[in-house]
Structure 1
Amino acid sequence: MQMSANETNHAAEFSPVFLSAFGFAQLCSWGTLYYAFPQMAVAMGAEFGWAKSEIYAALTIGLLMSALVSVPVGAAIDKGYGRSIMTGGSVLAGILFFAWSQTQSQLWFYVAFGGIGCLQAAVLYNASFAVVARHCDTSKTRDYVTTLTLWGGFASTVFIPLIEYLMGYFDWRQVLMALGLVNILVCAGIYCFLPRAGAACTGKTPSPEETMPKTAPAWALRQPVFWALLVCFVLYGAMETSFRFHLYPLLGENGLSSENAVFILALFGPAQVAGRAFMKIFQTRSIASVGIFVASVFPLALVAFALFPQSFPVLVAAAIAYEAATGIMTIVMGLSVPELLSRTSYGAINGMLNTPALMSKAFAPAIAALVWSSSGSYAGLLYGLAAVSATMMLAFLAAIFISNRNSITNKAPA
């Protein structure tokens, strides 16, 4: 929300206790709304006999719905309604988990999970980052974003075994009800303490430049740096979901035992957290330099998977490097808008970037499957994803170059 120069501002500063609680709520939101799906899919397939493609169509629907509401959700958070959106979103998510648990038909399932997809845009990282950008002093943004992602990085580590444990004692419908209660009692119970709508968005009086129309989303659409970031976000989304959803069968195709494959997959959560922990150490480094380094890791890791498909030590090292880079990339993408484009209208601009990125995530795994079918192996797909990641890195470099050039131009005397 834009504020006039004569308004008095008092930026919100989260206490360590509340920041930890906020992070824990993000852990629970991610663990329920995102990571619970594969285990529920297996249980539902066993009960209904639906094909995997029919069940996973719900995931595509959810991602598309999340993409469609990203911009209006971000714009509402920019206006100061983050607390209402995240609290209400968690309550609605809980209700939809109860609705999901009553599934008797595919249509009911698709409607329920489509609604959950909408609420992913209201409570996961993009929403929480927008709340931080809207209400907190810019000097705190990187630290808060990094802390939230550190908590969120443990979501799969905590909830996948927790859900597996619960499934040993209850059926999947009862487990979904329990996950719904987590959203209502835990997540909403914490998000309701976020800054209220009237809280200020900065810790200082805005400069004349910050109150200019150029900070509006319409201005962002006219900036080359926006389009460079858009290409980067879309390619990253396509690469990340294609690799993640095809890694297990890829490892099996290469002759790895299921135990070794599961071991590599189990490294993902800790590797992401380790990468984000390093962000705490290198807080003095600019997001631009961190992003360049991280983006360069992806093609190297993917090529390693292709060149050494049966070398377990190499695959372990490549998986750790890839996931540590993924963990850091979440932070880089979250901070790219304020550091490279605009420090205001964060929610709306970030939503415009993430809408096509989420769409690419929705369709990329199916396209990757077609690539595998046409080539007969995953080697071709890996080299293709390496090329995609290299192009993503070039797009990010272009965004940095354009942003720096614009900064110099803006500082030049009239």
Structure 2
Amino acid sequence: MSEIGKTLTQTRAKSSNDAKPSQAWATWALAIAQLVSWGSVYYSFSLLVVPMEQTVGWSRTATNAALSLGLLVSGFAAYPIGKWIDHGLGRRVMAVGSVVAAAMLVLWATTSSLIVVFVAWVGLGLSMAATFYDPLFAVLTHRYPASYKSKITLVTLVAGFASTVFIPLTQFLVGAAGWRSALVALAAGNLLVCLPIHLFAIRSSRLDPTTHETHQERKVADALASRRALRSPTFWFLAICLTAYYSTFAALTFHLVPLMQERAVSNAVLVTTMALIGPAQVVARAVWFAFDRHVNISTVGFVVVTLFPVSTVILICAGHSAYSLWLFALCYGAANGMMTILRGTIIQELLWTEGYGAISGMLSFPSNIAKGIAPIAAATIWGASHGYPAVEWTVLAVSSLSPLSFWLAVRTSRN
């Protein structure tokens, strides 16, 4: 680590009365903002597709293409947004992101043009890059260098209920007032909940610099750390690990229901299987939160990235068996639940905290691009092979790169 980096780390550690009781409310508030951001933008989408088809006539392919465009934009925006947060602009970035999310949801609600929907999803992609986990993890890492792990875990634990809260809420709003009014209500949530939280709970994404010289040293250290990451094999192994994981997870997530329908799994078993994923995700995060101080993150990380391909093997072998499918759902949900925490903490563990936002953005770029492409790629494989077995085996093959790459990242890390 550079001398500047060592000095900054020591300075942050010494000045890190960052877990003051007066600041505890901020973490809880930011966790609630995450719940609303994810719930209003990401989890609401699937509930709006059919009503839009019925009233406006947009095809399912076209609306899903808009979502994919948003994910791609989010990937491209991750690096510059992370760099801005490294420079101390966390509050501004996340507050503007909430405003953009609200504006784009209203734009979507008031248009009958598919082109405008694509424009709205470009804006929503930018808002996701500015308000979802990655920017907040950067804010917490810089602001609370001594306690960021527990804060990230707490945030993901609370935000894990986003689908639990917003899927039924959005469904109720669509049924009661229509999809356009539902979108306006979701936009209001970003303005009335997320915006004030981001303005008041984030004083800065950094500990306040005491001198101009210190501020300049931090900027230099962050820039050097980002460039150094690109020369580190650990960074590239992490990039492969995360890209392999998120691409296969996205592919399977968007095709899991039709996959089980193709197997003629009963509706009751299908619904129960899907319902188990969310609780498994939350329980896994809760267990990590409870034992956070007693576990080695590298060891847990290897278990997490191995659990997903294991769950895929269970799915391939499950057939119609309800118990096997439920076991798959528990492993699948637990893997994703813990992966979110791992994603927020492994950079600091294997690399360094300087330039975290930019490094995190560089890692997010390929994985977000892959998430946008993976569902379409899976559909192409399904069409070419006339069935989901080829998709399952492809998911297993690609996801198996994650544990191998993670192991290599740990072996080549500075630790």
TM-score w.r.t. the length of structure 1 is: 0.91
Q: Which residue of 2 aligns with 1:143?
A: 150
96, 100, 122: which one aligns with 1:92: 100
289, 294, 305: which one aligns with 2:315: 305
* Correspondence 1:74-113 to 2 at 5 A: 74-113=82-121
Alignment of 1:355 with 2:365, yes or no, is yes
- Residue 341 of structure 1 and its aligned partner are, at CA, apart by 1.1
Distance 1:199 1:228, change over 3 A: closer
Distance 1:41 1:199, change over 3 A: same
Confirm or deny: 8 A CA contact 1:82 1:194 kept in the other structure: no
Q: Which residue of 1 aligns with 2:252?
A: 243
360, 366, 377: which one aligns with 1:367: 377
Alignment of 1:63 with 2:71, yes or no, is yes
180, 189, 210: which one aligns with 1:182: 189
Confirm or deny: 8 A CA contact 1:13 1:137 kept in the other structure: no
Confirm or deny: 8 A CA contact 1:275 1:324 kept in the other structure: yes
Q: What is the letter of the counterpart of residue 231 of structure 2?
A: R
* Counterpart-to-counterpart distance in 1, 2:344 and 2:310: 23
* Correspondence 1:11-410 to 2 at 5 A: 11=16, 12-13=18-19, 15-138=23-146, 140-197=147-204, 199-200=206-207, 216-283=225-292, 284-403=294-413, 406-407=414-415
- Residue 117 of structure 1 and its aligned partner are, at CA, apart by 0.9
Confirm or deny: 8 A CA contact 1:214 1:220 kept in the other structure: no
* Counterpart-to-counterpart distance in 2, 1:213 and 1:170: 48
Q: What is the letter of the counterpart of residue 395 of structure 1?
A: S
Confirm or deny: 8 A CA contact 1:81 1:196 kept in the other structure: no
Question: For each residue in 1:182-201, what CA deviation from the matched residue of structure 2 results, as whole angstroms up to 9, or x when unmatched?
Answer: 00010111111233348417
Confirm or deny: 8 A CA contact 1:3 1:211 kept in the other structure: no
Question: For each residue in 1:148-197, what CA deviation from the matched residue of structure 2 results, as whole angstroms up to 9, or x when unmatched?
Answer: 00011100000000111111210111111100000001011111123334
Confirm or deny: 8 A CA contact 1:77 1:347 kept in the other structure: yes
- Residue 212 of structure 1 and its aligned partner are, at CA, apart by 5.7
* Counterpart-to-counterpart distance in 1, 2:410 and 2:205: 34
* Counterpart-to-counterpart distance in 1, 2:143 and 2:135: 12
- Residue 367 of structure 1 and its aligned partner are, at CA, apart by 0.8
Confirm or deny: 8 A CA contact 1:10 1:199 kept in the other structure: no
Distance 1:218 1:244, change over 3 A: same
Question: For each residue in 1:198-226, what CA deviation from the matched residue of structure 2 results, as whole angstroms up to 9, or x when unmatched?
Answer: 84179xx99x9998678521111011001
Q: Which moved more, 1:189-198 or 1:311-320?
A: 189-198
Question: For each residue in 1:295-314, what CA deviation from the matched residue of structure 2 results, as whole angstroms up to 9, or x when unmatched?
Answer: 22112211111112200111
* Counterpart-to-counterpart distance in 2, 1:148 and 1:316: 27
* Counterpart-to-counterpart distance in 1, 2:88 and 2:112: 39
Residue 307 of structure 1 aligns to a residue in which SS? helix
Question: For each residue in 1:258-294, what CA deviation from the matched residue of structure 2 results, as whole angstroms up to 9, or x when unmatched?
Answer: 3321221122221110110111233121211001111
Question: For each residue in 1:111-137, what CA deviation from the matched residue of structure 2 results, as whole angstroms up to 9, or x when unmatched?
Answer: 011101110010010011011011112
Confirm or deny: 8 A CA contact 2:74 2:125 kept in the other structure: yes
* Counterpart-to-counterpart distance in 1, 2:5 and 2:143: 12
Confirm or deny: 8 A CA contact 1:136 1:201 kept in the other structure: no
Q: Which moved more, 1:174-183 or 1:280-289?
A: 280-289
Q: Which moved more, 1:71-80 or 1:259-268?
A: 259-268
- Residue 74 of structure 1 and its aligned partner are, at CA, apart by 0.4
Confirm or deny: 8 A CA contact 2:86 2:222 kept in the other structure: no
Distance 1:372 1:76, change over 3 A: same
* Counterpart-to-counterpart distance in 2, 1:83 and 1:2: 24
* Counterpart-to-counterpart distance in 1, 2:353 and 2:11: 18
- Residue 364 of structure 1 and its aligned partner are, at CA, apart by 0.7
Residue 200 of structure 2 aligns to a residue in which SS? coil
Q: What is the letter of the counterpart of residue 345 of structure 2?
A: L
Residue 77 of structure 1 aligns to a residue in which SS? helix
Distance 1:212 1:346, change over 3 A: closer
- Gapped regions of structure 1 (runs ≥ 5): 408-414
* Counterpart-to-counterpart distance in 2, 1:117 and 1:291: 28
* Counterpart-to-counterpart distance in 2, 1:263 and 1:213: 47
Q: What is the letter of the counterpart of residue 298 of structure 1?
A: F
Q: What is the letter of the counterpart of residue 404 of structure 2?
A: L
How large is the RMSD of aligned CA atoms in angstroms? 2.5
* Counterpart-to-counterpart distance in 2, 1:94 and 1:170: 18
Confirm or deny: 8 A CA contact 2:140 2:148 kept in the other structure: yes
Confirm or deny: 8 A CA contact 1:210 1:344 kept in the other structure: no
TM-score w.r.t. the length of structure 2 is: 0.91
Q: Which residue of 2 aligns with 1:411?
A: none
